[in-house]
């Protein structure tokens, strides 16, 4: 017996194995998930579920190596590979393209949405043909003829011939005791191509109530708030009684201005709507869970809508997105029929949202000088007329906004004016500020801009010359005041602050207008104490003037130098003068 089995085993090793024999290879079933009814005259989706229903019942192996390879993954025999699924219909317009899958294991359903257009078709029964094309394993070839195939005779291993079924002891026959080392890359798998067709029955009928979106107009702007008007037509065969309409916006949108439906009170509300003479209304009318999702959003009550009748429904929508374009909205109706709450199918449509206005800051003009007030003019420009424009300026020390708000009205371009004061310690630089522009887009919206306000140098003055006085005498001090600033000052006066050993009865001198770089003389009458120490003193001098904005400004103090000298009087001259005066008075007597 052994001598007969050994040549047979050699044939199995040297030549490819015969076709793998197993029952119940991959095959498909299909069904429609949910209702197989389609509405007449519209494009809609049905969910088709396909499933590989193969089961592994009985296999016949040609070798132990083949069994060992397959047993590691028995589902490989009943898995469909390179699967393509296509949909056809002789009467319906199927818009779903061919679908492809690399592998579909058994008993793992795959749901495919199939888009079907029923416009222009007749009511009644229609069929959807599903065509499958796939591959399944037909042969597992163990190629031991490769020159790289190795056998190691030194190591012992019993090799078996498995005739059929599972490797039970009674089916195993020892052929030799040489170990054969097997590698997966020496395994070749041959596939068998298969095709299959399945027909699914679909029923197309005109619905009882169907809402068709005939027209959509919108006044929506990104970031704003506006109206969306939807023209609805009842294309169904029956009247929509007590019709509610709900608008379901996408993320970033909010339907406003409509009264929300309270779920807890809806049953009682619904009873009032469906109440008719001589008809008993149930004490409780339940609201299906899927309906609650729509009714908790804004709902609009339309009333009765006859077949082929149209109605305009306007919703107020708040737009909380920053970009314009078309956005997907949904609208759905709820109506009463036979004292039951029913719903229409959801209608999808697009709503156009205009891009938000583009606002640019063209220029910032500042005539603010350190230590004074001034105007800051911000020139803005938009790509369209903006409604109700107003602006607010926000600054930080050393700047102070004396008038921080400005109203421009309905404008496309505007000069926004603000009054700003810079403290005396402000530097000649550009200080950061924030400008907020508000305007009306159905709701008040705002946009912030970072701007810079240039602070010009503070006007300074120079004293040219010095005063010379004798101790104990009063005299006139005459000097020149020079404008070191960048603009002409007006109605200027110079004033000194006197301290010991000086006194005065005239501490102010009028200058008038003084152009940049121009100098004018000023005079002061100053008296020096007789005991003043001869030296050069310095008095503070300030200039009060009107600036470019007709604002009064007091300059930083500058020093007015005064040299005090010793008195030039002759000693005893005063006594002699007094004696002479007494003599003249005596003679007149």
In a domain, 218, yes or no: yes
Does 343 lie in the same domain as 219? Answer: yes
Q: Is the pLDDT of residue 59 over 90?
A: no
Mean pLDDT of the chain: 81
Does 14 lie in the same domain as 153? Answer: yes
Averaged pLDDT for residues 183-191: 64
- Please, are residues 454 and 506 in contact by the beta-carbon 8 Å criterion? no
Nearest to 498 by CA among 544, 467, 462: 467
Confidence of residue 474 (pLDDT cuts 50, 70, 90): very high
Does 491 lie in the same domain as 429? Answer: no
Does 227 lie in the same domain as 92? Answer: no
The range of the structural domain enclosing residue 135 comes to 2-204
Confidence of residue 54 (pLDDT cuts 50, 70, 90): confident
Averaged pLDDT for residues 50-68: 70
In a domain, 577, yes or no: no
Higher pLDDT, 290 or 565: 565
Does 480 lie in the same domain as 366? Answer: no
Q: How many residues does the chain have?
A: 589
Q: How many CB atoms lie within 10 A of CB 436?
A: 14
Q: Is the pLDDT of residue 259 over 70?
A: no
Range with the poorest average pLDDT among 161-175, 399-413, 453-467, 475-489 = 161-175
Does 284 lie in the same domain as 147? Answer: no
Does 447 lie in the same domain as 335? Answer: no
Alpha carbon distances (Å) from 437 to 378, 379, 408, 452, 453: 11, 12, 10, 16, 17
In a domain, 309, yes or no: yes
Alpha carbon distances (Å) from 560 to 82, 485, 506, 523: 102, 19, 15, 11
Q: pTM of the entire structure?
A: 0.57
Tell me what pLDDT residue 467 has.
93
| CA 298 and chain centroid, separation | 24
Does 475 lie in the same domain as 446? Answer: no
Helix (H, G, I), strand (E, B) or coil at 185: helix
Does 51 lie in the same domain as 173? Answer: yes
If one counts the domains in the chain, the total is 4
Tell me what pLDDT residue 60 has.
56
Q: Domain end: 296, 324, 354, which one?
A: 354
Does 164 lie in the same domain as 50? Answer: yes
In a domain, 579, yes or no: no
Q: How far apart are CA 326 and CA 464, in angstroms?
A: 74
Tell me what pLDDT residue 174 has.
39
What would the two tokens of residue 164 be? Answer: 């059929």
Question: Strand 368-369 relative to strand 444-456: parallel, antiparallel, unpaired?
Answer: parallel
Higher pLDDT, 264 or 250: 250
Higher pLDDT, 223 or 258: 223
Q: Domain end: 321, 354, 387, which one?
A: 354
In a domain, 418, yes or no: yes
In a domain, 444, yes or no: yes
Domain of 256, CATH number, reads: 2.60.40.10
pLDDT, tens digit (0-9, with 9 covering 90-100), for 332-364: 898 888 878 888 888 899 999 999 999 999 999
Does 507 lie in the same domain as 395? Answer: no
Domain of 443, CATH number, reads: 2.60.40.740
In a domain, 519, yes or no: yes
In a domain, 586, yes or no: no
Does 142 lie in the same domain as 14? Answer: yes
Q: How much of the chain exceeds pLDDT 70, in percent?
A: 75
- Please, are residues 187 and 67 in contact by the beta-carbon 8 Å criterion? no
């Amino acid at each position: 017996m052994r001598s007969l089995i050994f040549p047979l085993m050699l044939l199995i090793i040297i030549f490819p194995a015969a076709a793998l024999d197993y029952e119940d290879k991959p095959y498909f079933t299909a069904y429609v998930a949910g209702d197989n009814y389609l509405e007449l005259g519209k494009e809609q989706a049905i969910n088709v579920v396909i499933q590989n229903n193969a089961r592994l019942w009985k296999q016949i192996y040609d070798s132990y190596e083949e069994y060992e390879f397959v047993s590691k993954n028995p589902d490989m025999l009943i898995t469909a590979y390179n699967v393509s699924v296509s949909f056809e219909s002789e009467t319906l317009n199927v818009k779903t393209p061919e679908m492809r899958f690399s592998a579909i294991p058994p008993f793992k359903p795959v749901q495919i949405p199939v888009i079907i257009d029923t416009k222009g078709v007749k009511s009644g029964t229609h069929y959807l043909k599903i065509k499958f094309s796939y591959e399944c394993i037909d042969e597992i070839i163990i190629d031991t003829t490769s020159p790289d195939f190795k056998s190691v005779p030194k190591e012992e291993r019993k090799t078996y011939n498995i005739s059929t079924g599972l490797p039970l002891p009674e089916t195993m026959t020892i052929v030799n005791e040489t170990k054969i080392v097997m590698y997966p890359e020496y395994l070749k798998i041959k596939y068998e191509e298969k095709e299959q067709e399945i027909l699914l029955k679909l029923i197309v009928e005109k619905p009882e109530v169907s809402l068709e979106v005939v027209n959509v107009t919108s006044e929506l702007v990104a970031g704003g708030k506006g109206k969306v008007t939807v023209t609805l037509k009842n294309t169904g065969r029956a009247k929509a009684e007590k019709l509610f309409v709900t608008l379901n916006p996408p993320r970033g949108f909010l339907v406003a201005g409509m009264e929300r439906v309270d779920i807890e009170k809806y049953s009682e509300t619904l009873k009032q709507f469906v109440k008719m003479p001589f008809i008993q209304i149930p004490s409780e009318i339940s609201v299906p869970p899927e309906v609650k999702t729509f009714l908790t959003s804004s709902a609009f009550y339309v009333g009765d809508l006859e077949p082929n009748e149209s109605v305009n429904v306007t919703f107020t929508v708040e737009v909380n997105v920053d970009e314009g374009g078309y956005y997907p909205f949904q609208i759905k109706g709820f109506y009463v029929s036979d004292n039951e709450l029913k719903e229409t199918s959801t209608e999808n449509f697009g709503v156009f949202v205009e891009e938000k206005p583009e606002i640019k800051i063209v220029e910032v003009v500042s005539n603010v000088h350190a230590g004074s007030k001034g105007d800051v003019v911000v020139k803005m420009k938009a790509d369209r007329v903006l409604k109700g424009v107003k602006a607010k300026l926000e600054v930080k020390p050393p700047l102070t906004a004396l008038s921080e708000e400005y109203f421009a009205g309905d404008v496309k371009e505007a000069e926004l004016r603000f009054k700003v004061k810079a403290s005396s310690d402000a530097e000649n630089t550009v200080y950061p500020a924030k400008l907020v522009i508000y305007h009306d887009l159905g709701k008040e919206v705002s946009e912030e801009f970072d701007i810079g306000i240039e602070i010009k140098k503070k006007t300074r003055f120079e004293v040219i010359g010095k005063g010379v006085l004798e101790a104990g005498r009063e005299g006139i001090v005459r000097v020149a005041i020079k404008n070191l600033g960048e603009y002409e000052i007006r109605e200027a006066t110079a004033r000194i602050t006197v301290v010991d050993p000086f006194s005065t009865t005239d501490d102010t001198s009028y200058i008038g207008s003084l152009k940049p770089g121009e100098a004018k003389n000023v005079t002061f009458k100053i008296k020096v104490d007789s005991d003043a120490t001869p030296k050069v003193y310095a008095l503070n001098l300030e200039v009060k003037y009107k600036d470019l904005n007709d604002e009064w400004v007091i300059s930083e103090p500058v020093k007015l130098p005064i040299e005090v000298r010793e008195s030039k009087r002759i000693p005893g001259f005063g006594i002699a003068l007094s004696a002479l005066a007494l003599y003249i008075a005596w003679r007149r007597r």
